[in-house]
Amino acid sequence: MFLFKSGKKENLFQLQNEGRIYMKPLSYLENCEDETRRDEFEKATFVINNPSQEYYLKVKEHGTNDEYVTVGMITNAIGKGFEGYIFCLHYLSLDDEIEKSVQISSKDDHILIMNSNLFLQVLKNKLDNDKIAYQYGLVTYKNFDNYVGNKTPFEKDLKYKNEYEFRLFIPLKENKEFYDFYIGNISKFSTLTKISPLSTFKIERRNSKDIKDVIHI
């Protein structure tokens, strides 16, 4: 897997030279001013949104044998309960030999992490040593326009599928604007660059002892 991150040059410079992991709360993306990034489902623990079925809420008094009484119909329900901070990157799989269009901003610079295994090991060591609860992994994409079920912080609507997102999630009460920590200099296995928002990417495999990952821009 190959990872890269978009952002302001000064922030990416801090990431490369100091290993600063700068995380935003889930509520930031839920209410983001940038409509291409805003996601009303970010904090959702479940979604009920199925036009072909109707769901009714029923209740009965505690300690009685009374029948359940229908209170009302549930429509487009989102159970919001997740709290925490996220650090997001884009990814390409080593199996991605076909071209991919990745949704990136024309305003941003980028840091390319050429050894994702080493990066994740350094990240994991820091979090484990500090005894910080965390999860990381690839985001999967689902059609929430026709969905009923539970949802995790690693699931997003299909309209975001071109983000090809890898994220770190730390479950904490969202009581400040950001959460950050430092993992040390990562310049030995990363590089800063500028990428056109119209770029497409693919992984090229070459016949050699070691597989080399080449980005086509």
pLDDT at 38 over 70: yes
Predicted confidence (pLDDT) per residue in 40-53, tens digit: 888 888 787 765 55
Q: What is the pLDDT of residue 177?
A: 93
Q: What is the pLDDT of residue 37?
A: 80
Q: How far apart are CA 183 and CA 126, in angstroms?
A: 6
Locate 201 and state its tokens: 């990417």
Predicted confidence (pLDDT) per residue in 68-91, tens digit: 766 554 445 566 778 999 999 998
Q: What is the pLDDT of residue 39?
A: 85
Q: Are 17 and 185 in contact (CB under 8 A)?
A: yes
Q: What is the pLDDT of residue 43?
A: 84
More confident residue, 67 or 20: 20
Percentage above 90 pLDDT, the chain: 39
Q: Are 156 and 138 in contact (CB under 8 A)?
A: no
pTM as predicted = 0.76
- Contact residues for 147 (Cβ-Cβ < 8 A; gap 6+): 47, 49, 50
Locate 15 and state its tokens: 């990431």
More confident residue, 172 or 2: 172
Closest Cα to residue 195, out of 214, 176, 215? 215
More confident residue, 203 or 217: 203
Segment 3-19 shows an average pLDDT of 92
- pLDDT band at 163, cuts 50/70/90? confident
